[in-house]
Structure 1
């Protein structure tokens, strides 16, 4: 197993944090309403605050950046866990259909409660992740039922079944969204593209409990993920309570995915690319891979949203579309490399 020092991991984390801060700087200062660095600092430190700057920074730009960072961190960690459990480098919440299952459940929530629940109010904000969680579990149950062969999970069948399930859930999602009234359909269409456009502090507050508990639980089991790479039989022989640990890790990863989908739609490829880059940077020990993968996920969302807002101005491209444009070539590259 290739190993790198903790010092290298710290250096990678510091470099990633610096890159994120640069992206945050551009996200805060550039846009239809440009603000100087001096005014940004004064606004953040509450020095001679101006109402127009407060509105742009605290109501529009900062919650969008923070929510994107939270979702990127969650998807990076979840993708790392899924790849570790399945021992398949192509495993990803989007490729496996978990995003699609969670998204279908959230669209059903929008459809069933349209006009009765304010989706941006506290009730809607706190309930949507639970629907997403149920949809994620439904997707996982369907995938497991078809991808197991001889009592074991077949990594190749897993990818094929996941793609098929994702397509099926996507079709149901589209059918339900077409049954919505025009206003709710427009909101669902924007959300389905993987957008941070409607980000607000309520979404951030509802996302934080998932991030304060679940990543810590996963990181404390990083040694279990390391042992799983030796094969299930070898992990059992080394004393791992295999089914219990796998179920717990899957529960944690689906929780992170469902919360992310509830607040920003199905953003694919973050959970695929981030763990791969993390392994190349810091080796194969999950105690190093997990935080680096989360940090790469943050960078992908923050930079992707910045590209969507600025490169295509005055139009705006959803961050999910930007990441998909960048992620598809990388996915094809991984498919070709795995065939060799």
Structure 2
């Protein structure tokens, strides 16, 4: 077979053609979450934009409609009182964002949230049971730092029992665990509904305010417990970002890469349960908030690497919750309806997502 010869015009063109896996300009190999310089710039722009929105929302909540002159002692006193709500929003956004992204990773499903495991139903049973057995005074009985710790411990213990039972056995199955979680959540929800039907109108009105996710439900004294718990659980998940990347590849691939899939899955789910227990006990149930934040974060980050998804998810969670709180408080004067609005918007996005995909 005759050898092919190159003309003088073809040789330079061949030298300029990049090898497979090399960028056209530098010829250097690039791989990872952000494989091109353009993807890196896009991610940086997204993070900066979200950070700017976070700062603007923070300043707006602190300064908007503040009757005292900016910089005065009275202004900072009022701003300090409002800062508590911003800290609560930050903690809730952190918990929901990291918990939902991690939960969707280990379950390999982008449309479910940790709420499916019955955390919010358990919260409703505790709140409803207190009013059912002790009347309106029951709300006061379950308020306090120790009562808050008790609710968190109860939710985490419930999750640990469920995960340990359904995933540690010889025939442990993640799908069965999710199905049983849905059934238990439905059963606890039915029990709550039954007790609510037996309440007086006054007791029901008081209870309803507790069962709607709201920043007003949180007590500043809970932050001394919530912040360390969220920081430890979320920090461990953040440090496990590379392992989460492997778990996202599926059980077979993770096992072939030397990862103990079952043990790692249980560890992640327990950390997720801590974050969800803190968030739910702090402000109440927000079923679609985590789904909304995770969906937007994946679209904005445009990568599957958890090292990059986690920061975007956290900032997105703050922008969504903080922005909704600012608008409802200062425009519609209905800051207590933040949970309702987020549930409506999140539920709408959920349905649109399913209808667009055509499958679960």
Q: Normalising by structure 1, report the TM-score.
A: 0.80
Written as runs of structure 1 = structure 2, the 5 A alignment for 1:51-130 is 53=75, 56-59=78-81, 61-105=82-126, 107-108=128-129, 118-130=141-153
Is 2:66 the counterpart of 1:22?
A: no
Question: Residue in 2 aligned with 1:204?
Answer: 223
- Residue 27 of structure 1 contacts residue 306 of structure 1 at CA under 8 Å; is this kept in 2? yes
Which residue in the other structure is 1:248 paired with? 267
Distance 1:135 1:295 in 2: 30
Aligned residues: 320
2:332 is matched with which residue? 312
Query: Does the 8 A contact of 1:86 with 1:153 survive in 2?
Result: yes
Residue 154 of structure 2 corresponds to 131
**1:215, distance to aligned residue in structure 2 (A):** 1.0
Partner of 1:293: 313
Contact 2:130/2:139 (8 A) holds in 1: no
**Cα distance, 1:199 vs. partner?**
3.2
Task: Extract unaligned runs of 5+ from structure 1.
Answer: 43-47
**Cα distance in 2 between the residues matched to 1:337 and 1:163:** 24
The structure showing larger relative contact order (alpha-carbon pairs under 8 Å, at least 6 residues apart) is: 1
Quick one: distance in 2 between partners of 1:57 and 1:136?
Answer: 38
| 1:280-335 deviation per Cα after TM superposition (whole angstroms, max 9, x unaligned) | 2221111111222122112222112223323432x444221110111112101221
User: What are the residue-to-residue correspondences of 1:18-57 with 2, within 5 Å?
Assistant: 18-30=52-64, 34-35=65-66, 38-39=69-70, 42=71, 48-50=72-74, 53=75, 56-57=78-79
Whole-Å separation in 1 of the counterparts to 2:163 and 2:192: 17
Write the deviation string for residues 194-219 of structure 1: whole angstroms up to 9, x where unpaired. Answer: 01114342122221011221111101
Q: Which moved more, 1:330-339 or 1:8-17?
A: 8-17
CA RMSD in angstroms comes to: 3.3
Does the 8 Å CA contact 1:278/1:296 hold for their aligned counterparts?
yes
3-state SS, counterpart of residue 216 of structure 2: coil
Q: Secondary structure of the equivalent of 2:73?
A: coil
TM-score (norm 2): 0.76
- Look up the SS of the partner of 1:168 in the other structure: helix
8 A contact 2:131–2:138 mirrored in 1? no
**Any unmatched runs of 5+ in structure 2?**
1-30
TM-aligned CA deviation for residue 229 of structure 1: 2.1
Tell me how far apart the structure 1 counterparts of residues 88 and 239 of structure 2 sit (CA, whole Å).
25
| Cα distance between partner residues in 2 of 1:110 and 1:128 | 15
Aligned counterpart, 2:21: none
CA gap of 1:308–1:174, structure 2 versus 1, over 3 A, is farther
2:96 and 2:276 in contact (8 A); partners too:
yes
Q: Is contact 2:162-2:177 (8 Å) kept?
A: no
Q: 1:206 to 1:165 in 2, by over 3 A?
A: same
**Residue 236 of structure 2 corresponds to residue 229 of structure 1:** no
